[in-house]
Structure formats: structure tokens, C-alpha cells
């Protein structure tokens, strides 16, 4: 060891740029820790198995430990050992026997090979985390790799820059979309390069999608309790490296493969949005492993109970909560986001449990440090920002509570739409608000209709097919005795649980799928489509596929019934209509649009009528669109969620007759004329869209 160490000198370096940075001649290392007493930089051979040097970072400036290693080039593998007090009662969990990952590492190499050594305390001790574990964890830890950030320049590139009101989001998974796709070469399936393959990009573009939203791609481990059951972390909501792409998705080109994927989507005019998890890490609670942050400066990186710093505040439900109130932790989040937005050229972010990021010690604050930092940042304030506006902590439900400039997942839209097409009691008023952009929530402070990200389904919960095929979740494969996943699904099987050969039930299910898709894409706000819903993908009733890196979660592309292709064509048609017609993608609450609600008798819907039944009619009109060729200035939508035909009297609005453009009970039917004050029978459980002739 001494001979190997002699090959490396270490100089003072600089503290201003955190992480490992190659300057063309050597590499600078800088690590934040406010409470450490000493930091050792451990260098490894190319295999990552043999330590070839251990160097003390020689300088400590403004709570940053730093040093410069001349001649150390990109590709070098490293990790840290951090010395300090092991004092859980006061929030400190230093243990130099644990090799730790650099929070700023751009690339990680190797898996976590779980053992007792990963824990800073003795798992067999009765004192649990108050005990101390001197087992060395290096052999079971990934290593960080020095990356030359300037090696792969983008060259000339044009971002799609899709306007919010034009945005159609497609939520998908790198592996799930590609693993079974026969159009993608076998060696690229499950990778960034596979998703960036021409066949994948062309398919998504053919749907009319503008923005692909990827489930987490930051480095995350497979939890030991899942591996023990033969399962894996599929979704990836358990980050351990906020700058490093997950190794499992890297193909032959490695890190460059991510950039090539982004480039391929950009060349097709499609944005890339990342689902990111800055609310917690994979280190869990006080009994969790020491992999990075916990051993570097636990008291700074995590929120601990004010009266007992041994324990963590658990507003995330995962064991720990990242402390974005600390300026260096906030800086790490911001630096990470800027890295992905600038170096990796992504176009936006969806923030898992986003309410956490707005939490200060006194609770959620939309003027907290994190939101203020984002609002003024010259890079991040210009990309798409989507919040999941809830967590499990006090006051954690914040739909409508995020600052101007943010869009939000609107679960009120999801639940209202599901309940409406189940013909729930007295649900028409809320459905009407959701259909027209949830102005009751978002029409304030200059926010726009696009602030509402509308969705019927997402990765968490039933797929669209399963929403109309199952009354209950079927999560047996998860190994949790059916105790995981949502119980309140607002779903229905229409007579048989799961797949059936009953033609009548299948026909009704297909109609309901069309109703949901039509509602989603005809609603104001930003539509989000779950990948595979366009052709009726099933998870066989599993509504919590977080651990199913298997055919349960992967998209199946072959041997699909004809109904799948018909549904896909219907989805494409809806997206085309939305793109062509401004009345269907409202940009501004103050655009002069006239909105009139009518009852089935053709009269104006008065307050006392809203609870008479759920069949509704709405007319949207913008006279300023009348002079544009092929653009509708006047449309009428009829909704009938009831299990019986509804005889609508076409309301008298003046002008030409109405022309049928879309009917979910019969997608092939269009062009029918409907005269004012005459009856139009809308079949049970269906939706109709008319335009003025």
C-alpha cells in the first residue's frame, strides 16, 4: 500500500466546485462536511477491487474538504472515508470503516453487494444503531468514476422548446418500454440507447407525443429485502446518486448513451423530462445502511427530530427526509438539476413527493428556500417544472399550492374523472371543473390552465386496461400478502374480474377506455398518458409494480388482439384533434372563450340542475378563431356516463348545424348532422364531440 500511495501526490486544490473535476492535467476533489474531522480519498484500480492509494484531503475551507491529485485522469475510480464522531444521539454517524460515495459523482461502477458491513452499527447488537461496526464495506460498494465533462460536446443542437399549452406527456420507463420491443436490437433493450433507437422514437412520435417523462434514471440500488424475495427495485424511487445515471440502463456507449438518447428525441422534436427524487435517499432511517450522505454528514443532509437527533423526520414514508433547508444540501439539489439541464440537455423535471422540497422547519412554505432558488435560477426557471404536490407529513397535500411557474400532478382530475365514468353520485360539478382545467384551483396569480397536469393513470396504480377490468388489486407477486398498493382505485370490472371471453363485457371495457382517453385529451390542462395505455396494456391487476422488473411491468408489443391496434388508432386521432384545435388546449384563462353548460333538455344548466344527474353538455366558443381556416371556433361536447341512452336536445346556440366529429360508442361514426332543438340520442356510457358546420 505504501508503494502504491507513493505514486500519487495531493495538493491543496480548490473548494469552489464540489465533486471530482478533471482540468486536463489532474483531478480536483471537493466534499462538503460541516462536522467531519478528516476525509480520506481512496483510489482504486480499474477493476474497483483493489485500493491503490489512500490520501488525506489536505485542506478544509468553508466546510469543504478539498485536494488536487496531479496526473489523475478520467476513468479513475474512487470513494471516501470520513472521520468524525459516532454519536447518533446528536445526529452524527461517522464511521471511517465505510467506503462512501461522492454525492457529486457523475458515474458509479459496480453494484452494492449487501452485507452487514454496509451498516455503521452492529446489526447483532441489542443497542442497534447506538453500537459501532468496524467491518469494512469497500468490497461491497460501487466506486465513483472520474468523468471528463468536456469529452463529449453536444455540438450544434436545437431543443424542441415545446410550449406548455402544446405539451402532451408520455410517462414511461427505460427498460419497461424497450425490454420486449422486437423492433429494438436485443443488445440495446433495457438501455438508454434502446429507448433512443429510431424504432422507439419513431413510434412515440407517431402517436403525437411532445414530451417523454422517464421514471427515475438516477443511480439507485436494489434493496436487500427485495433481493431476498427474488425481486428488484423497478421504479427507481430510491436514489443514491443524484448526478449519476443508473448503471442498469447504460448500454454499450455507457454515459454517452444517455446523451445520444436525448439527442435522438430532440431531433424528432420531442422533449425529455426526468422524474427525480430529491425528497429522500436510499439510506433509510436510523437502522439503514451508510452508503454516502449518512456517513459524510448525517446531521446536515437529513432532517432529524428536534428533540432527539438520533431519529429522522419521516415525511416521505421512506425512513428519511432530505434537509433542503441546509444551504449546502440545497446547493447539491440545484447543482444536480443544472447538470441534467445543461450538460445532459434534458428539458424538464417531475419532482417526486415535491411538497418535501418546500418544507422548512415550520412546515410547507411556497416561499421557502428551495422554491425561491428555483424561481430566480436563470437555467431552471426556464425548463418544465412539474410537482407531485403531496407527501405524508403534516399539511403535505398541496395541490394548487405550488408557486407560479410550476405545473402539478392533479390527482383531483384523476379521481373526479374516474368517478364520473362510474356514474358516481353528485360528481358532475367537480368533473366539469376538472374538464375545463381546474380553474377553481389554478386560476390565480397568473397561473395558466397548463398548470394542471391531467392524468387518468400513472405508473402508480392500475393501467387503463386494468382500471376497467378489475374491482380489486391483485398484488400477490409482490410478496406482501396483498397489503401494498392502493385500495381506493375507483375501478370496475363490468361483470368479470380480469380477462374474459365475454364479448359484451369486452366491448363495454373498450368503450370505457375510449371515454377515458377522450376525456383526457379533450380536457384543458396538460394531458399525461401512461405508456401502453394507448393500446390497452395490462399488469394483470397489479397496481403497485414498484418491485416487478418482469413481464408484469414491461410493455408487450407482440401478439396483441385487434382491439389494441384500434385503441392506438383512436388515441392518435385524439392527439391529432388536440393539436389542430386551440379550443381543446386552452393556453390562457383570459382568452375570451365563452363556456356554456347545458342539461339534456337543451336548457342552460342552472345551479339546481347539477345534482339532477350526470349527463352533461358544454359548448366552447372563441370568435377570434373563426377566420382561421380549418380551425374550429365553436364546439359542443356531450357526456353520458349513465348505463342507459340519453336523449339530448341539441341546444339552440345560433348559426349552422352541428357536425359530429367523435363518438366513443362508435369511433367510425362521424359526419352526422345535428340540428338545434332536435333530439340526439347519445348511447349509454359515451361521449360525443360536435363542431359547427
CB 78, CB 144: distance < 8 Å: yes
Q: What is the pLDDT of residue 180?
A: 98
Does 301 share its domain with 199? Answer: yes
For residues 337, 339, 340 and 343, what is the CA-based torsion angle, rounded to 10 degrees?
Answer: 160
Task: Give the CATH number of the domain where residue 446 resides.
Answer: 3.20.20.80
Instruction: Please say which residue of 523, 550, 583 terminates a domain.
Output: 583
Residues 561 and 640 in one domain: no
List pLDDT tens digits, range 325-344.
Answer: 999 999 999 999 999 999 99
The answer on 104 and 30 residing in a single domain is yes
Q: Specify if 603 maps to a domain.
A: yes
Among left, alpha and beta (phi > 0; psi -120 to 50; other), residue 36 is beta
Question: Rounded to whole angstroms, how far apart are CA atoms 210 and 270?
Answer: 5
Q: At what angle do helices 327-338 and 293-301 cross, to 10 degrees?
A: 120
Q: Are residues 601 and 577 in the same domain?
A: no
pLDDT at residue 6 greater than cutoff 60 = no
Q: What are the phi and psi torsion angles at 169 (to 5°)?
A: -90, 140
What pLDDT is recorded for position 155? 66
Copy the grid coordinates of residue 386.
412539474
622 φ/ψ sector (left φ>0, alpha ψ -120 to 50, else beta): beta
Residue 368 pLDDT > 70 = yes
Query: What is the pLDDT, as a whole number, of residue 662?
Result: 98
Q: Taking a C-beta distance cutoff of 8 angstroms, is the pair 428, 436 a contact?
A: no
Both 462 and 566 in one domain: the answer is yes
Q: What are phi and psi of 311, to 5 degrees?
A: -105, 155
Give yes or no: residues 613 and 634 share one domain.
yes
Please indicate, yes or no, if residue 68 is contained in any of the structural domains: yes
d(CA 273, CA 610): 39
Q: Output the pLDDT for position 611.
A: 87
Write down which residue in 549, 583, 617 finishes a domain.
583
Evaluated on CA atoms 670, 674, 680, 685, the torsion sign reads: positive
Tell me how far apart the 2 most distant CA atoms of the chain are, in Å: 95
Cell 413481464 locates to 551
Q: Are 99 and 142 in contact (CB under 8 A)?
A: no
- In this predicted structure, what is the pLDDT of residue 317? 94
- What confidence score (pLDDT) does residue 5 get? 47
Of 195, 228, 230, which Cα lies nearest the Cα of 214? 195
Q: Average pLDDT over the chain, rounded to whole?
A: 96
Query: What's the chain's length in residues?
Result: 693
pLDDT at 305 over 90: yes
- Does residue 2 register a pLDDT over 50? no
C-alpha cell at 378: 436563470
Per-residue confidence band for 655, with pLDDT thresholds at 50, 70 and 90: confident
In a domain, 212, yes or no: yes
Last residue of a domain, one of 557, 583, 609: 583
Q: Does pLDDT of 56 surpass 80?
A: yes
| Other CB atoms within 10 Å distance of the CB of residue 530 | 22
Q: Is pLDDT above 70 for 432? A: yes
Predicted pLDDT of residue 3: 35
Question: Is 268 a domain residue?
Answer: yes
Look-up of cell digits 465533462: 149
Query: What is the arithmetic mean of pLDDT over 115-124?
Result: 97
* DSSP per-residue string spanning 266-304: HHTT-EEEEEE--S--TT-STTS--SSHHHHHHHHHB-E
**DSSP string for residues in 353-406:** TGGGGGEETTEE-TTSHHHHHHHH-TTGGGSEEEE----SSTT---TT-SPTT-
Cβ–Cβ < 8 Å for 56, 39: yes
Residues 416 and 458 in one domain: yes
Task: Examine the domain organization and report whether 306 and 335 are in the same domain.
Answer: yes
Which helix (H) or strand (E) segment holds residue 173: the answer is none
The H or E element that residue 333 is part of is helix 327-338
Q: Which of 51, 286, 352, 510 is flagged as catalytic?
A: 352
Q: Which of 213, 297, 388, 430 is catalytic?
A: 388
- Comparing C-alpha atoms, which of 191, 408, 161 is closest to residue 270? 161
For 375-423, the pLDDT digits (tens) are: 999 999 999 999 999 999 999 999 999 999 999 999 999 999 999 999 9
Q: Select from 379, 361, 381, 383 the least CA-distant residue to 371.
A: 381
Does the annotation count 127 as an active-site position? no
Interval 638-658 mean pLDDT: 95
Q: What is the pLDDT of residue 143?
A: 98
Q: Are residues 617 and 533 in the same domain?
A: no
Query: Residues 6 or more apart from 558 whose CB is under 8 A from it?
Result: 180, 182
Give the gyration radius of the chain's Cα atoms.
27
Please determine, for residue 4, whether its predicted confidence score (pLDDT) is greater than 50: no
The average pLDDT across 660-688 equals 97
> Using CA atoms, how far apart are residues 454 and 410, in angstroms rounded to an integer?
6
CA atoms within 13 A on the CB side of 194: 23
Whether residue 245 contacts residue 192, with contact meaning beta carbons closer than 8 Å, is answered with yes
Q: Is residue 166 part of a domain?
A: no
pLDDT given for residue 331 in this prediction: 98
* pLDDT single digits (tens) 181-229: 999 999 999 999 999 999 999 999 999 999 999 999 999 999 999 999 9
Q: For residue 524, what are the β-bridge partners? A: 436
CATH number where 133 lies = 2.60.40.10
The DSSP secondary-structure symbol of 684 reads S
- Contacts of 337 by beta carbon, 8 Å cutoff, 6+ apart: 276, 349, 380
What's the whole-number mean pLDDT along residues 683-691?
Answer: 98
Q: CA-to-CA distance for 418 and 433, rounded, in angstroms?
A: 14
Rounded average pLDDT over 83-92: 98
Angstrom distance (rounded) from CA 311 to CA 94:
15
Going by C-alpha positions, the residue among 122, 121, 117 that lies closest to residue 137 is 117
- State residue 150's pLDDT score: 78
- What is the domain extent for residue 431? 192-583
Indicate the number of domains in the chain.
3
pTM listed for this prediction: 0.97
Q: Is the dihedral of CA 208, 683, 640, 501 positive or negative?
A: negative
Residue 639: inside a domain, yes or no?
yes
Same domain, 470 and 425: yes
Together in a domain, 103 and 208: no
667 — pLDDT class (breaks 50, 70, 90): very high
* pLDDT tens readout for residues 503-558: 999 999 999 999 999 999 999 999 999 999 999 999 999 999 999 999 999 999 99
Q: Are residues 542 and 622 in the same domain?
A: no
Tell me what percent of the residues of the chain surpass a pLDDT of 90. 95
Q: Within a domain: residue 562? A: yes
What ranges in 486-601 are assigned the alpha helix state H? Answer: 503-522, 562-580
Answer for the pair 39, 98: CB distance below 8 angstroms, yes or no: no
Residue 155 lies in a domain: no
Asked about 352 being catalytic, the answer comes back as: yes
Cα dihedral angle (425, 427, 428, 430), rounded to 10 degrees?
A: 170
623: CATH: 2.60.40.1180
Local confidence band at 608 (pLDDT 50, 70, 90 cut-offs) = confident
Cα 16 off chain centre by = 31
pLDDT at 63 over 50: yes
**Distance spanning both ends of the chain, measured CA to CA:** 84
Which residue pairs, CB below 8 angstroms and at least 24 apart, start in 172-175? 172/212, 172/213, 172/214, 172/215, 172/531, 173/214, 173/215, 173/234, 173/235, 173/459, 173/531, 173/553, 174/214, 174/215, 174/217, 174/249, 175/234, 175/248, 175/249, 175/549, 175/554
Give CA–CA dist 566/144, Å, rounded: 48
Q: 470520513: which residue's cell? A: 82
User: In angstroms, rounded to a whole number, what is the distance separating the alpha carbons of residues 33 and 301?
Assistant: 9
Contact (Cβ atoms closer than 8 angstroms) between residue 240 and residue 220: yes
Instruction: Return the SS3 of 305.
Output: strand
Amino acid at each position: 500500500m505504501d508503494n502504491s500511495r507513493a505514486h500519487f501526490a495531493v495538493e491543496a486544490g480548490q473548494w469552489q466546485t464540489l465533486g471530482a473535476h478533471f482540468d486536463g492535467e489532474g483531478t480536483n476533489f471537493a466534499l462538503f462536511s460541516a462536522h467531519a474531522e478528516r476525509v480520506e480519498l481512496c483510489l482504486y484500480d480499474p477493476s474497483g477491487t483493489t485500493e491503490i492509494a489512500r490520501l488525506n484531503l489536505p485542506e478544509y475551507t468553508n466546510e469543504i474538504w478539498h485536494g488536487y491529485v496531479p496526473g489523475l485522469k478520467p476513468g479513475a475510480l474512487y470513494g471516501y472515508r470520513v472521520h468524525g464522531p459516532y454519536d447518533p444521539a446528536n445526529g452524527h454517524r461517522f464511521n471511517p470503516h465505510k467506503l462512501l460515495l461522492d454525492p457529486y459523482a457523475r458515474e458509479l461502477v459496480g453494484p452494492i453487494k449487501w452485507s452487514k458491513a454496509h451498516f455503521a452499527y452492529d446489526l447483532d447488537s441489542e443497542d442497534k444503531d447506538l453500537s459501532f461496526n468496524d467491518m469494512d464495506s469497500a468490497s461491497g460498494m460501487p466506486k465513483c468514476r472520474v468523468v471528463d465533462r468536456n469529452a463529449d460536446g453536444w455540438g450544434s443542437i436545437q431543443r424542441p422548446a415545446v410550449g406548455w399549452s402544446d405539451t402532451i406527456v408520455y410517462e414511461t420507463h427505460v427498460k419497461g418500454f424497450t425490454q420486449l420491443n422486437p423492433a429494438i436490437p436485443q443488445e440495446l433493450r433495457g438501455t438508454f440507447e434502446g429507448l433512443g433507437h429510431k424504432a422507439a422514437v419513431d413510434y412515440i412520435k407517431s402517436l403525437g407525443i411532445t414530451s417523454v417523462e422517464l421514471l427515475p434514471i438516477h443511480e439507485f440500488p436494489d434493496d436487500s429485502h427485495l433481493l431476498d424475495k427474488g425481486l428488484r427495485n423497478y421504479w427507481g424511487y430510491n436514489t443514491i446518486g443524484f448526478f449519476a445515471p443508473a448503471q442498469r440502463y447504460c448500454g454499450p456507449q455507457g454515459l454517452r448513451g444517455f446523451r445520444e438518447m436525448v439527442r435522438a428525441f430532440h431531433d424528432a422534436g420531442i422533449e425529455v423530462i426526468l422524474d427525480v427524487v430529491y425528497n429522500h435517499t436510499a439510506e433509510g432511517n436510523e437502522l439503514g445502511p451508510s452508503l454516502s450522505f449518512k456517513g459524510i454528514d448525517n446531521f446536515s443532509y437529513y432532517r432529524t427530530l428536534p428533540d432527539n437527533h438520533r431519529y429522522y423526520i419521516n415525511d416521505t414514508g421512506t425512513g428519511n427526509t432530505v434537509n433542503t433547508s441546509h444551504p449546502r444540501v440545497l446547493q447539491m439539489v440545484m447543482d444536480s438539476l443544472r447538470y441534467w439541464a445543461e450538460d445532459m440537455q434534458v428539458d424538464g423535471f417531475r419532482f417526486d413527493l415535491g411538497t418535501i422540497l418546500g418544507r422548512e422547519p415550520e412546515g410547507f412554505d411556497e416561499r421557502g428556500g428551495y422554491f425561491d432558488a428555483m424561481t430566480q435560477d436563470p437555467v431552471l426557471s426556464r425548463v418544465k417544472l412539474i410537482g407531485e404536490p403531496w407527501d405524508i407529513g403534516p399539511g403535505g397535500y398541496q395541490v394548487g399550492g405550488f408557486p407560479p411557474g410550476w405545473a402539478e400532478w392533479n390527482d383531483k382530475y384523476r379521481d373526479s374523472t374516474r368517478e364520473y365514468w362510474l356514474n358516481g353520485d353528485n360528481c358532475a360539478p367537480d368533473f366539469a371543473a376538472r374538464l375545463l382545467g381546474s380553474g377553481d384551483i389554478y386560476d390565480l396569480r397568473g397561473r395558466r390552465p397548463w398548470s394542471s397536469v391531467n392524468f387518468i393513470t400513472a405508473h402508480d396504480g392500475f393501467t387503463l386496461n386494468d382500471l376497467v377490468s378489475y374491482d380489486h388489486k391483485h398484488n400477490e407477486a409482490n410478496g406482501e400478502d396483498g397489503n401494498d398498493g392502493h385500495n381506493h382505485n375507483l375501478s370496475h370490472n363490468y361483470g368479470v374480474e380480469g380477462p374474459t371471453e365475454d364479448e359484451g363485457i369486452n366491448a363495454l371495457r373498450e368503450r370505457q377506455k375510449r371515454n377515458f382517453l377522450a376525456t383526457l385529451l379533450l380536457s384543458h390542462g396538460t394531458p399525461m398518458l401512461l405508456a401502453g395505455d394507448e393500446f390497452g396494456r395490462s399488469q394483470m391487476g397489479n397496481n403497485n409494480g414498484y418491485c416487478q422488473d418482469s413481464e408484469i411491468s414491461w410493455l408487450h408489443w407482440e401478439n396483441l388482439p385487434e382491439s389494441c391496434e384500434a385503441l392506438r388508432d383512436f388515441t392518435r386521432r385524439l392527439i391529432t384533434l388536440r393539436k389542430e384545435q386551440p379550443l381543446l388546449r386552452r393556453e390562457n384563462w383570459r382568452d375570451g372563450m365563452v363556456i356554456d353548460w347545458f342539461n339534456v333538455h337543451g336548457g342552460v344548466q342552472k345551479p339546481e340542475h347539477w345534482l339532477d344527474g350526470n349527463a352533461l353538455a358544454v359548448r366552447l366558443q372563441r370568435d377570434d378563431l373563426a377566420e382561421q381556416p380549418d380551425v374550429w371556433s365553436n364546439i359542443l361536447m356531450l357526456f353520458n356516463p349513465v348505463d342507459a341512452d340519453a336523449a339530448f336536445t341539441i341546444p339552440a346556440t345560433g348559426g349552422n348545424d352541428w357536425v359530429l366529429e367523435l363518438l366513443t360508442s362508435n369511433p367510425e361514426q362521424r359526419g352526422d348532422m345535428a340540428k338545434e332543438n332536435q333530439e340526439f340520442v347519445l348511447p349509454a356510457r359515451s361521449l360525443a364531440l360536435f363542431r359547427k358546420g
